[in-house]
Amino acid sequence: MDHHCPWVNNCVGENNQKYFVLFTMYIALISLHALIMVGFHFLHCFEEDWTKCSSFSPPTTVILLILLCFEGLLFLIFTSVMFGTQVHSICTDETGIEQLKKEERRWAKKTKWMNMKAVFGHPFSLGWASPFATPDQGKADPYQYVV
C-alpha cells in the first residue's frame, strides 16, 4: 500500500497504481485544457464586445473566469505533483511510506523501465494510457520478483 486516496475512495497500491497514475495525469491534462480555454475565452471577449461574449454581465463574466482560473490552476498543481510523486515512486520501486521511513531495501533493484513495465504492463503499447487495459503483471522476466 502506498497511501489512501479519498478521491478514489481506496488505497493506492501495486494492483491499482496504474489507474491512480492515469487518473492524476488525466485530471492534470483536463485542468490544463480548462486554463487554455479560459485564456482563449478571455482573449475573445477582450477583442469583442463583452455583452456578446456571455449571457452574464461583464463583471460577472470576469469574476467567473477568475474563479475558473483559480480552480483549474489549483487542480493542475495538485494533480501534477501527485502524478510526479507516483511516477517517482514507480521508478524508485518504493512507496511513499517506505520513502518516509527510509527503510533498507529488501528486494532486488530493477531498472526504471522494468518498474514502469511492471506497473503498466508488458510490452509498451497504447494500452499504457488506457484505464480500460489491464496490465499483464509479472510477465516481463521470470526473475522479476526476487525473494
Residue 69 known to be catalytic: no
Contact residues for 77 (Cβ-Cβ < 8 A; gap 6+): none
Residue 140 has pLDDT above 60, yes or no: no
For 15-67, the pLDDT digits (tens) are 788 888 999 999 999 999 999 999 888 888 877 777 777 777 878 888 988 99
Selected catalytic residue, list 5, 53, 69, 91 = 5
This prediction's pTM: 0.77
Q: Which three cell numbers stand for residue 131?
A: 484505464
Q: How confident is the model at residue 1 (pLDDT cuts 50, 70, 90)?
A: low
Residue 142 has pLDDT above 80, yes or no: no
